[in-house]
Amino acid sequence: MVKKINACVFISGKGTNLATLVKSSRKNNFPLKIELVISNKKDAPGLKISKRNSIRFKYFSSKKMRIFEKKCLIELKKREIKFICLAGFMRILSKDFIKNFSHKIINIHPSLLPKYKGTNTHARVLRNKDRFSGCTVHYVTPKLDSGKIIKQKKVLIEKNENEDSLKKKILKVEHAIYPKSIIKIFK
């Protein structure tokens, strides 16, 4: 059995990657124990996943990001969190937050970075008529979607692909590679 590290998952939405990480964290060989979920949206559907799995969760408004980050850092320290996974967290963490947390922070992004950093990735991929898209797990740095890549997975874009079908296809791949990326980090 692997010694588990206390982790926090930051979410803004449905929490499908959160659900995958929670499921993975129950396995003996998975290095993280999800101790906390933080959301910047009070009504994020992913918070229901926390409740169902008896995982402590916190909501902090992100209207003033500096205050949001300060509250997060206090909570992370209190819970002895040593690892953060961003999973559909739709805010950019500041340089100060990253420095003050001083442990690893990773993110999953729905494109083959360095292409299509930021939001609306599927629309941009389709507009540019790319043959492939995919997802990337990477370390979080102060520069948006620019940290060292941990793992990527490619998907073929079909001729009749639309934003919704591409999003669903990539989300399935995200669920597969996010836990594998975390295992890779701790090997």
Active site residues: 109
Distance of alpha carbon 122 from alpha carbon 112, whole angstroms: 11
Q: Count the residues in the chain.
A: 187
Sequence-ordered list of residues with C-beta below 8 angstroms from that of 92, at least 6 positions apart, any chain? 144
Q: What is the largest CA-CA distance in the chain?
A: 50
CA angle 64, 69, 75 (to 5 degrees): 130
Measured between alpha carbons, how far is 129 from 87 in angstroms, rounded to an integer? 27
With beta carbons less than 8 A apart as the criterion, state whether 4 and 31 touch.
Answer: yes
Cis peptide upstream of residue 114 (ω within 30 degrees of 0): yes
Which has the closest alpha carbon to 107: 138, 63, 146?
Answer: 138
Take residue 181 and report the two structure tokens written for it. 């990326």
3-state secondary structure of 5: strand
